[in-house]
Amino acid sequence: MTIRDATDADWPAIWPFFREIVTARETYTYDPEMTEEQARALWMSPSNSPLARTTVAVDADGTVLGSANMYPNRPGPGAHVASASFMVDGRARGQGVGRALCEDMIAWARQSRFRSIQFNAVVETNEPAVHLWQSLGFRIAGTVPEAFDHPRLGYVGLHVMYRPLP
Amino acid sequence: MTIRDATDADWPAIWPFFREIVTARETYTYDPEMTEEQARALWMSPSNSPLARTTVAVDADGTVLGSANMYPNRPGPGAHVASASFMVDGRARGQGVGRALCEDMIAWARQSRFRSIQFNAVVETNEPAVHLWQSLGFRIAGTVPEAFDHPRLGYVGLHVMYRPLP
């Protein structure tokens, strides 16, 4: 598996699992009704910052297994904190794709001189993701109760997670 | 003091204290270099949601003392949580303007059937604001350490605060 910068040509391979993940409504606070064009803009150009970057994880055949994007979390006095989003194709789960994408993101954030990384809205019932971030050095700074409306589990919490970059 | 919906005609009265607050860099993670047009768009149209609303606090003479805006915090499965931002003219501090704006915002959120209110980035050293929100029923869900670069105090934390709307 290789992690590389995404190009416009990767979007058609990202869109099917992006759509599946967003319409499932289990892990992302995105509008499930968004159009493909809105999704492409959101994922491929996640910020006005010149630092913003979108990546893909590809296997030896060049098949896209997952994608990430990364950017300063906030402007001005918050611009020293990076953030990111990750999606893995359901057919490629359990192969370490999310871990590889996140390790690459951490390296990017360090090289880009960010002081820390913050994830703003990690669904508490998405335990594989919570445990993966924890294994990569992220801590739960706090949890907003009932901030996510899960289709099966009802109102569940959203974690704010962060990782210093010493 | 009255709280009412803002109109385009209120912007020239908001911009001076908006600019002062943002360029001070002590309480908002906004880009201090933003243009007036960017500031107007951000403050007067804070969200694509049809629910979004901007208000002003005015005294008996019609002078604008402060302003707030409010909107769903996130789309899709997060759209049942409201958020808001508040600014008070430095010359009107200590008169209960922030409290009146927030009480009005809480009433709006309840009427609009939100289930809770979340503030995403309250600077921990902005103690008057933290105490005001606490007195209005908000709790600190967590604090992200060193997420705000304060011009005098260095890296300080950002609180995530929330208030259920039972």
A96 CA: distance to closest CA in chain B (Å): 27
- Three-point CA angle B143, B73, B116, nearest 5°: 80
Q: Give the per-residue pLDDT at B129.
A: 97
The 3-class SS string of chain B reads: CEEEECCHHHHHHHHHHHHHHHHHCCCCCCCCCCCHHHHHHHHHCCCCCCCCEEEEEECCCCCEEEEEEEEECCCHHHCCEEEEEEEECHHHCCCCHHHHHHHHHHHHHHHCCCCEEEEEEEECCCHHHHHHHHHCCCEEEEEEEEEEEECCCEEEEEEEEEEECC
Contacts of A148 in chain B (CB under 8 A): 77-78
Which amino acid does the sequence have at A132? Answer: L
Q: Which of B75, B142, B149 sits opposite A77 (nearest CB)?
A: B149
In A76-115, DSSP assigns E strands to: 81-88
Which amino acid does the sequence have at B136? Answer: L
**How many angstroms separate the CA atoms of B41 and B79, rounded?**
21
pLDDT band at B48 (very low <50, low <70, confident <90, very high): confident
Interface pTM, i.e. ipTM: 0.95
pLDDT band at B166 (very low <50, low <70, confident <90, very high): confident
Q: Give the per-residue pLDDT at A147.
A: 98
B44 CA: distance to closest CA in chain A (Å): 18
Phi-psi label, residue B75: left if phi above 0, alpha if psi -120 to 50, beta otherwise: beta
Q: Give the per-residue pLDDT at A35.
A: 97
Asked whether the beta carbons of residue B29 and residue A76 sit closer than 8 angstroms, the reply is yes
Res. B57: pLDDT tops 90: yes
Contacts of A120 in chain B (CB under 8 A): 120
**pLDDT digits 0-9 by tens, A68-122:** 999 999 999 999 999 999 999 999 999 999 999 999 999 999 999 999 999 999 9
Q: Give the per-residue pLDDT at A21.
A: 98
Q: Which residue in chain B has the smallest CA separation from A140?
A: B142
- Give the mean pLDDT of B42-57: 95
Res. A166: pLDDT tops 90: no
Angstrom distances, CA of residue A60 to CA of A2, A12, A65? 8, 18, 11
Tell me the pLDDT of chain B averaged across its residues.
97
Residue A76 parent element (H or E): none
A152 CA: distance to closest CA in chain B (Å): 12
Angstrom distances, CA of residue B62 to CA of B44, B89, B93, B94? 19, 14, 17, 18
**pLDDT digits 0-9 by tens, A107-137:** 999 999 999 999 999 999 999 999 999 999 9
Contacts of A74 in chain B (CB under 8 A): 29, 121
Contacts of A122 in chain B (CB under 8 A): none
Output the six-digit token pair for A96.
């370490």
**pLDDT digits 0-9 by tens, B61-72:** 999 999 999 999
- Give the mean pLDDT of A1-30: 97
Q: Which of B144, B149, B155, B156 to mutate to test the interface with A (most CBs of A within 10 A)?
A: B144
Three-state DSSP class for residue A108: helix
- Three-point CA angle B146, A158, A149, nearest 5°: 155
Fold annotation for B2-117: Aminopeptidase (3.40.630)
Which amino acid does the sequence have at A8? Answer: D
Q: Give the per-residue pLDDT at B66.
A: 98
Asked whether the beta carbons of residue B78 and residue A162 sit closer than 8 angstroms, the reply is no
- Give the mean pLDDT of B103-121: 98
Tell me the pLDDT of chain A averaged across its residues.
97
Q: Which residue in chain A has the smallest CA separation from B142?
A: A142
Res. A48: pLDDT tops 90: no
Asked whether the beta carbons of residue A29 and residue B74 sit closer than 8 angstroms, the reply is yes
**pLDDT digits 0-9 by tens, B132-148:** 999 999 999 999 999 99
Asked whether the beta carbons of residue A31 and residue B75 sit closer than 8 angstroms, the reply is yes
